[in-house]
Amino acid sequence: MGQISYEVAHLLGATMLMAGFGLLYQRRLYAVLNTFAFQALALAAAAAWQAHVQHAPHLYVTAGIALVFKGMLVPFALHWLVERLGIHRSVDTALSIGWTMIVGVVLVALSILLVLPVTANAAALTRESLAVAMSVVLLGMLMMITRRNAVTQVVGFMALENGLLLAAVSAKGMPLVVEISVAFSVLIAMTLFGIFFFRIRERFDTLDLQYLETYRGDRQ
Amino acid sequence: MLIAAPLLALPVLALFAVLARRAAWSHAVVYGGAFLAAVALLAGGLDRLGGGGPTALTLPFGLPWLHAHFRVDNLSALFLVIVNIAAAAASVFAVGYGPHLPDQRRVTPFFPLFLFGMNAVLVADDAFMFLVSWEFMSLSSWLLVLSDHTRPETRKAAMVYLTMAVFGTFCLLPAFGLLAGAGGDFTFDAMRMKELAPASAFLVVLLALLGAGSKAGLVPLHAWLPLAHPAAPSHVSALMSGVMTKVALYGLIRILFDLHGEIGWQWGAVLMVVGGVTAVLGVLYAVMQDDLKVLLAYSTVENIGVVVIGLGLALAFKAGGEPALAALALVAGLYHALNHSVFKSLLFLGAGAVMSATGERSLGALGGLLKRLPWTGATFLVGAAAISALPPLNGFVSEWLILQSLFKGPTLPHWAMKFGVPVVGALLALAAALAAACFVRAYGVAFLGRPRTAAAAEADGNAVTLGMRLSLAALAALCVWLGAAPVTMTNALSEVVRPLTGIEVPVSADLGWPWLSPAGPSSGSYSGTILVAMGLLLCGLAVMLVHRLGTRALRVSDAWDCGHAEDIPQTQYTGHSFAQPMRRAFGATVFRARESVDMPEPGDDAPARHVVSMIDPVWDGLYRSLGRLVDFLADQVNRMQFLTVRRYLLMMFATLVIWLLVVAVRQQL
């Protein structure tokens, strides 16, 4: 049991990590959204597996939230937004894809180097999951800063949040209320982002953030 | 008891001054009270100096885990004496001087607080009380500087002063933190016991030198001093210049000689060089000033330099295994600190008397005051002679002692010191000579000759009230006494330095009272007492002979007028003309002084003008470039306000990654 639970959890975490790299690799907006949905599904599966392994039924709720909100609602909403707004469907990068991947690999190495010694006394499962979760978080941040389009930034933020949730479900004894509040805050953030997309598009005819710079009044 | 009660009375006086500020008599009451408190504190200090070990007192207030510790040992007692002699004189002076101030209600409440702060620094026995009192002293004197806040230059001076005060405390705080160590026991007792690691020992000395040095006015941290001291009312200037700088030296001595364990001879060399440069630069500035109070403030810089030379020499001797010579140098330095507080207070109060009589403090507007202000003139002359180190006055004794201990420099084991000490001695001699020139100029231009302006010609002798005259006369008498009875002082001072150097130095041991013979019986000795006695005897004899032998016929005639028939005061020597040779000799290199003649165009009937341009090396070289650097950095940081959202995210991300890297690397080690 111990061995198989560890292997499956490891597999699901690694799937999320791969999905994180996938997010960085995609050049098409729809593909980015699909990859994100895939990552959220992996998260839901990981949460459900943890619920099963830890005998913690409240984690099933977490898994459900992840599945419904992040796996379906958010990607569909973003699909709809992109279609509705007629956004240009290629990803505009600030750092080339190749370099982004290299930096991503370095970040993963860093988080493994960092987490494994710190958690030397914890269970192997927790250690691996924490290292993977931290890598996912860092990859999400990397996505936020290396992509110009506002939609991809939102996706980066959501991916970061996926990493946080993975860390949360891997550690034993995380109360449900924390996950629920995180899920709701993400939903609210999503709503706000959506409204802002519309407003930005209406005013500036683009979602590329660099066009916003010229409108800033406080530049000297 | 003799110390605690008057100390606590001072804040009460300040409160009273605020409550009764409308009543005209309240100022006299407050200054009278401050005088009584100062006299009581002086008595307490003298009593403690007379004998007995340190007295300690712990009170249950202050920080929650630290009681307030107070302790009076011989060093504190000496500085209590130094502070309160001048404080008592300034209080008496202020009773008559206060009404001349533009708004004395802004001065009176803070005066007792200032005295309280300075005295509290001296009796504090833990770092917390010390720093709180230190800040108390800084802030109350800052408010006093700001009392005449309508003038823009006063506001600038106050701003510079506040900045430097903050800088000083900013340096002292980590110094005490390092002294306390990781255990965090901030009592001075714990610090004395502690052994310091080499790095923190180095940092403590450096920070103490910066922190206390900025308050004392060591070059290049002196820039605030000539701005702030003259901006305050004169009785406050007297205290700031004469006394507050000594409290700063007390802090330096307390840290370097008492709390700190072992200090290398290199620090002694650093202190001596800083002191020598401070002395020469200070007096070079002073000799060019036209404003009497600014001149006195710069001269304070010089004297602090002289004292610091003594301290540095003591450090070097102590580290070089010559405790007796260390004690001698320290006695000399402390003696000079005491003397300077007396004659600098006297001179500042004299400048205050001149201001209240004429309303002028520019040398160019004064002249011929001796006739109209005989008290002020006579006492100012004593002060000027003392600060010029003329025997038999007190300034001579201490500078002579410092020079005598400098002559012992070649006994130090290090070659750098063998050769360096005579150089510092030469700097000191140069500073002393220039100081004499400076005060010949100040006294001659202000008090002798003919009045240069109507204000000087109509100087009102009655404006110098009885209280002012008394305090001037008392200080002048003290100058004479400290010069005439040096052995009494050096014996008391050697008691003070015994715990600091581990040895008592009987400066007068070889030849006995009243001879000072620091360098052994054969190579140099001095007796102020005999000199004064012989001088009085000979003067009396001469006066008697002149009166006996001379004719009683009286003839009034014109003074010799150098061939100028017309009676124009402008034909006299002025302050500028007196300073010109020194400006040409030294200023051309140190201040890059350039003279040019500004000739009007032909046909223009404007007068031709002589223009002198000077550059302050410290202000322009150090402070302005520091300011430019800060501006530049601020500009760079300012750019960060106008980044894109993505760049901000990048910065946060980079910060996070860097810290993670730091953690990762530390784990690997």
**For residues B265 and B206, is the Cβ–Cβ distance under 8 A?**
no
Judge whether B640 lies within some domain.
yes
Domain contains B82: no
In the predicted structure, residue A40 carries a pLDDT above the cut 70: yes
- Rg for chain A, CA atoms, rounded: 18
Distance from CA of B629 to the nearest CA of A (A): 21
Which structural domain, as residue segments, surrounds residue B633?
Answer: 617-668
B236 near B111, Cβ under 8 Å?
Answer: yes
CA angle B446, B450, B452 (to 5 degrees): 70
Return the residue in A114, A142, A144, A145 with the most chain B beta carbons within 10 A, the one to mutate for interface testing: A145
A105 touches chain B (CB under 8 A): no
Best mutation site among A93, A130, A141 for testing chain B: the one with the most B CBs within 10 Å? A141
CB contact under 8 A, B660 and A94: no
Distance from CA of B14 to the nearest CA of A (A): 49
**Does residue B554 belong to the interface with chain A, where contact is any CB pair within 8 Å?**
no
Distance CA B209, CA B221 (A): 10
Contact status of B665 with chain A (Cβ, < 8 Å): no
Structurally, how many domains does chain B consist of? 1
* B 437-456 residues inside an 8 A Cβ radius of A: none
Per-residue b or e along B522-551, where b marks 16 or more CB atoms closer than 10 Å to that residue's CB: eeebbbbbebbeeeeeeeeeeeeeeeeeee
Cα angle value B502/B507/B510 (rounded, 5°): 120
CA gap B409, B423 in Å, rounded: 10
Among A112, A113, A149, most B C-beta atoms within 10 A, so best to mutate, is A113
Q: State which residue of chain A sits closest to B644, comparing Cα positions.
A: A213
B121 in Cβ contact with B113 (< 8 Å): no
Judge residue B582's burial from the number of C-beta atoms within 10 Å of its C-beta, 0-12 exposed, 13-18 middle, 19 or more buried: middle
* Average pLDDT of every residue of chain A: 80
| B653 close to A (CB below 8 A) | yes
Contact B660 A145 (CB under 8 A): no
On whether residue B376 sits in a domain, the answer given is: no
Determine contact: B150 vs chain A, CB below 8 A: no
pLDDT number for residue B574? 85
Average pLDDT (A193-199) is: 68
Per residue in B117-162, pLDDT tens?
999 999 999 899 999 999 999 999 999 999 888 889 999 999 999 9
Task: For residue B101, give both structure tokens.
Answer: 């101030």
Which of A82, A68, A71 has the alpha carbon at shortest distance from A152? A82
Sign of torsion, CA B147 B148 B150 B153?
A: negative
| Residue B641 resides in a domain | yes
Does residue B624 fall inside a structural domain? yes
The structure tokens 């008290």 sit at B375
In whole angstroms, give the CA distance from residue B595 to residue B584. 9
* pLDDT for res A220: 44
Query: Is B657–A114 a contact, with Cβ atoms under 8 angstroms apart?
Result: no
Query: Using a CB-CB distance cutoff of 8 angstroms, which residues of chain B are in contact with residue A216?
Result: 642
DSSP state of B523: T
Quote the crossing angle between the two packed helices B323-358 and B486-501, to the nearest 10°: 130
Asked if residue B648 is part of any domain, the answer here is yes
pLDDT of the residue at B192: 86
Q: Which residue of chain B is at minimal alpha-carbon distance from A118? A: B667
Q: For residue B379, give the DSSP letter.
A: H
DSSP state of B607: P
Listed residue (B451, B456, B454) closest to B567, CA to CA: B451
- pTM of structure: 0.78
Helix (H, G, I), strand (E, B) or coil at B389: coil
- In this prediction, the residues of chain B whose per-residue pLDDT falls under 50 are none
Chain A residues touching residue B642 (CB < 8 angstroms): 216, 218-220
Amino acid at position B541, single letter = L
DSSP, collapsed to helix, strand or coil, labels residue B65 as: coil
Q: Does the residue B656 lie in any domain?
A: yes
Cβ(A190)–Cβ(A150) below 8 Å: no
Mean pLDDT score, A54-78: 84
Residue B637: inside a domain = yes
Give B656's contacts in chain A (Cβ within 8 Å).
Answer: 141
Task: Give tens-digit pLDDT for A4-39.
Answer: 888 888 899 899 999 999 998 888 888 999 999 999
Answer whether residue A218 shows pLDDT above 60. Answer: no
Look up residue B295 and give its DSSP letter: H
Beta-carbon contacts of B388 under 8 Å, excluding residues fewer than 6 positions away, are B395, B432, B435, B436, B438, B439, B440
User: What values do phi and psi take at B224, rounded to 5?
Assistant: -75, -25
Residues B409 and B387: beta-carbon distance below 8 Å: no
**Which member of B649, B660, B667 has the closest CB to residue A145?**
B649
Chain A to chain B, count of Cβ pairs less than 8 Å apart?
41
Predicted confidence at residue A199, as pLDDT, reads: 67
Comparing CA positions, the residue from A70, A81, A80, A72 lying closest to residue A182 is: A70
Q: Please enumerate in sequence order all residues whose Cβ is within 8 A of that of B375, keeping only pairs 6 or more positions apart, or say none.
A: B353, B464, B469, B472, B473
Residue-wise pLDDT tens digits, B459-511:
888 888 898 999 999 999 999 999 988 888 888 888 888 888 877 766 666 66
Which residue type, as a one-letter code, is found at position B600? P
Residue B350: exposure state from Cβ atoms within 10 A (0-12, 13-18, ≥19): buried
Of B426, B72, B65, nearest in space to B250 by CA:
B72
Higher pLDDT, A220 or A177: A177
* Coil vs helix vs strand at B597: strand
Q: Which residues in chain A have their CB less than 8 angstroms from residue B640's CB?
A: none
Q: For residue B91, which amino acid is it?
A: S
Give, to the nearest 10 degrees, the angle between helix B245-253 and helix B127-145. 160
More confident site: A197 or B460 = B460
What is the three-state SS of B87-154? HHHHHHHHHHHHHHCCCHHHCCCHHHHHHHHHHHHHHECEHHHHHHHHHHHHHHHHHHHHHHCCCHHH
Instruction: Give the length of chain A.
Output: 220
- Report the number of secondary-structure helices (H) and strands (E) in chain A: 8, 0
What is the rounded distance in angstroms from the CA atom of residue B641 to the CA atom of residue B538? 80
Tell me what ipTM this predicted complex has: 0.78
Q: What pLDDT score was predicted for residue B485? A: 86
Q: How long a stretch of residues is chain B?
A: 669
Is residue A130 scored above 80 in pLDDT?
Answer: yes
The H or E element containing residue B388 is none
Q: Which of B234, B274, B255, B273 is nearest to B354 (CA)?
A: B234
Element (H, E) at A181: helix A176-204
